[in-house]
Structures are given as C-alpha cells and as structure tokens.
C-alpha cells in the first residue's frame, strides 16, 4: 500500500502485511512520517536534549517522587 508523509507529502510504498501497515490501517498510528522526516525530527530532539534546556517529561515526573 502507498502512504503519504504528512510533512513533505512524499509517497512511500510499504508492505501491506507489515505491522506498520496494520497499525496505520487500524488508526493506531494516525500519521505517517517518511524516513527522512523521521530522522530529521529524531536529530532535532536529540540535539535539544543535549543542550540541557529540554528535559523529557517522564524524567521530570520521576524526579518529583525522589
């Protein structure tokens, strides 16, 4: 099946029988990101974490209980 990236509108062909395709079809995943956009977002998130200004919500929550 063909899926369209929500950020750059590029269309990718994915295996219809893959877990990813099933998740998209069952609306478990509502948005598809292509590999390039996925990598771009991952890079930005990692560099933000490394600046120390960005903290993960989960980590802050854990710290409150210490």
- Interface residues with Zn ion (CB under 5 A) are 5, 7-8, 34, 37
CB of 16 vs Zn ion, minimal distance in Å: 20
- CA–CA dist 35, 37 (Å, integer): 6
Q: Smallest distance, Å, CB 37 to Zn ion?
A: 3
Taking the least distance from each CB to Zn ion, the nearer of 11 and 56 is: 11
Q: How far apart are CB 35 and Zn ion at their closest, in Å? A: 8
State how far the Cα of 42 lies from the Cα of 44, in Å rounded to an integer: 5
Q: Are 10 and 2 in contact (CB under 8 A)?
A: no
């Amino acid at each position: 099946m063909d899926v369209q990236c929500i950020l750059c509108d590029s269309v990718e062909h994915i295996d219809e029988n893959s877990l990813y395709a099933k998740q998209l079809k069952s609306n478990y995943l509502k948005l598809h990101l292509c590999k390039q956009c996925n990598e771009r977002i991952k890079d930005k998130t990692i560099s933000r974490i490394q600046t120390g200004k960005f903290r993960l919500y989960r980590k802050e929550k854990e710290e409150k209980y210490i």
